[in-house]
């Protein structure tokens, strides 16, 4: 995933013609993706169980 982010940032900088700082929204997006990946890595099992439980409830409610 990191090579894709690096490519995207480089592409945006070239399109805008900026040789300076990374645009703020790109930094926020990259940092948010990093936080989501870190949280998912730590709490993967709990997240999977919670999503499966929620989906089972939705499926069982629609089957009435």
Tally the domains of the chain: 1
d(CA 60, CA 8): 42
48 is in which domain, residue-wise? 2-62
What is the pTM assigned to this prediction?
A: 0.50
**Rounded to 5°, angle at Cα 11 from 35 and 13:** 85
Would you say residue 32 has pLDDT above 90?
yes
Residue 64 has a pLDDT of 57
pLDDT per position as a tens digit, 4-31 = 777 777 777 666 555 556 788 888 899 9
Asked if 40 and 12 touch (Cβ cutoff 8 Å), the reply is: no
Asked if 50 and 40 touch (Cβ cutoff 8 Å), the reply is: no
d(CA 31, CA 36): 9
Mean pLDDT taken over the chain: 82
């Amino acid at each position: 995933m990191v090579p894709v982010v690096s490519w995207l940032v480089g592409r945006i900088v070239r399109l805008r013609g900026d040789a300076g700082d990374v645009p703020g929204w790109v930094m926020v997006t990259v940092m948010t993706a990093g936080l989501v990946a870190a949280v998912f890595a730590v709490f993967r099992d709990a997240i999977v169980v919670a999503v499966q439980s929620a989906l089972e409830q939705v499926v069982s409610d629609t089957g009435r």
